[in-house]
């Protein structure tokens, strides 16, 4: 009986020891689990965080000229139409100037007689055979007739409508037989070698733009092509109605690119602050302590984090630019930063997402 009792007593004692040992291990594991902070991670990687905005405007020729009549008359000849190239001095149209030519011949005939009277009166004045008043009258008639001839020659010259520059005809508004008035527009010509767009830009977006800066241009007619351009000039004053500043952009035209015509709709993308391929982390990974900026770098093998001081640049689109203190592909903590300290044990529960933090 004593042996049985002794065995039972020993069995109970061993059981109690095992129970206490198990409870101690569970308690220790519970404490270790409680000390590991759950976090999500993000990767330091290059991104494009440039500041960009797009404005639409119509393509136009930098040099566009309205060719107008300098006298009224009947159109008797038209030599060019839309799409034709013209050179400076080409006769684009002619007006009927037969009346002016007839008057010119009459005036030239009268000039011979008037000049003879003028010369004879001058000789008589030198011999005191004519009065000075008679000489002045003859001189006036002679000079006035010369002026009339010059005016008629000018009208005849105006009858030829000449191209003022090398260009392409974009609009023809006349036909043979039309009567046209003085200063009435006849043609529109444009130099297509220099095409520009002139979008209006808000004063809030004007900062960072400067002459010579490159831009990207997309045309609706060529949706899959991106054309390059550069800022040619920035107008000094805002439009009084729209309060926008005009930014003139020159379109680069290469021989291997498709034809661009005035009137196409262009969407110009400006980049006032270019930050391409810069090292970034999500802004949520940044913490500030004692006036300094830090990031918790994740040590995946050791299961903890290191508090690392970093220098950041701009913050844009939910990301912060890293200037120093971090290298590409490093893993950083992106959640529960307030619960972390240097060396804190962590448990990774997911990857940071801009919309929803976990996988």
pLDDT digits (tens, 9 = 90+) for 9-67: 444 444 443 444 444 444 333 334 448 889 999 999 999 888 889 999 999 999 999 99
User: Under a CB-based contact definition with an 8 Å cutoff, are residues 200 and 240 in contact?
Assistant: no
Q: What is the pLDDT of residue 9?
A: 45
| Residue ranges of the chain with per-residue pLDDT less than 70 | 1-34, 255, 355-359
Helix (H, G, I), strand (E, B) or coil at 31: helix
The whole-angstrom separation of Cα 266 and Cα 252 is 13
Token pair listed for 198: 């002139």
- For residue 86, the cross-strand partners are 167
The whole-angstrom separation of Cα 332 and Cα 138 is 104
The helix (H) or strand (E) run that includes residue 99 is: helix 98-126
Q: What is the pLDDT of residue 128?
A: 86
Does the predicted model carry a pTM greater than 0.85? Answer: no
The helix (H) or strand (E) run that includes residue 32 is: helix 2-35
C-alpha distances out from residue 297 to 145, 321, 325, 337, 357, Å: 98, 16, 10, 11, 18
- For residue 307, the cross-strand partners are 296
Give the chain's domains with CATH numbers.
35-48+277-351 (2.40.420.20), 52-61+191-273 (2.40.30.170), 98-158 (1.10.287)
The whole-angstrom separation of Cα 272 and Cα 207 is 7
């Amino acid at each position: 009986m004593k042996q049985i009792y002794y065995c039972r007593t020993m069995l109970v004692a061993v059981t109690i020891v095992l129970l206490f040992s198990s409870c101690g291990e569970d308690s220790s594991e519970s404490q270790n689990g409680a000390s590991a902070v759950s976090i999500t991670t993000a990767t330091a990687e290059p991104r494009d965080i440039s500041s960009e905005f797009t404005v639409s405007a119509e393509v136009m020729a930098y040099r566009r000229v309205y060719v107008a009549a300098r006298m009224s008359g009947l159109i008797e000849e038209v030599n060019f139409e839309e799409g034709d190239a013209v050179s400076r001095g080409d006769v684009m149209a002619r007006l009927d100037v037969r009346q002016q030519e007839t008057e010119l011949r009459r005036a030239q005939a009268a000039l011979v007689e008037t000049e003879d009277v003028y010369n004879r009166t001058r000789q008589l004045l030198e011999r005191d055979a004519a009065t000075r008043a008679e000489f002045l009258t003859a001189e006036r008639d002679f000079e006035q007739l010369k002026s009339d001839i010059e005016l008629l020659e000018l009208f005849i010259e105006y009858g030829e409508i000449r191209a003022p520059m090398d260009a392409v005809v974009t609009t023809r508004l006349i036909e043979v037989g039309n009567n046209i008035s003085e200063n009435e527009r006849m043609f529109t010509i444009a130099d297509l070698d220099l095409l520009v767009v002139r979008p209006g830009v808000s004063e809030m977006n004007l900062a960072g733009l400067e002459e010579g800066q490159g831009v990207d241009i997309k045309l609706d007619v060529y949706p899959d092509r991106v054309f390059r351009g550069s800022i040619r000039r920035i107008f000094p004053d805002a439009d009084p109605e729209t309060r926008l500043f005009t930014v003139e952009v020159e379109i680069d035209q290469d021989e291997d690119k498709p034809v661009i015509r005035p009137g196409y709709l262009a969407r110009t993308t400006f980049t006032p602050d270019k930050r391409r391929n810069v090292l970034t982390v999500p802004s949520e990974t940044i913490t500030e302590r004692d006036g300094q900026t830090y990031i918790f770098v994740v040590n995946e093998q050791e299961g903890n984090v290191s508090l690392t001081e970093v220098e950041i640049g701009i913050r844009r689109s939910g990301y912060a630019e890293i200037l120093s203190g971090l290298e590409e592909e490093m893993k950083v903590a992106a959640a529960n930063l307030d619960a972390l300290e240097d060396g804190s044990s962590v448990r990774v529960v997911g990857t940071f997402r801009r919309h929803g933090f976990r996988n």
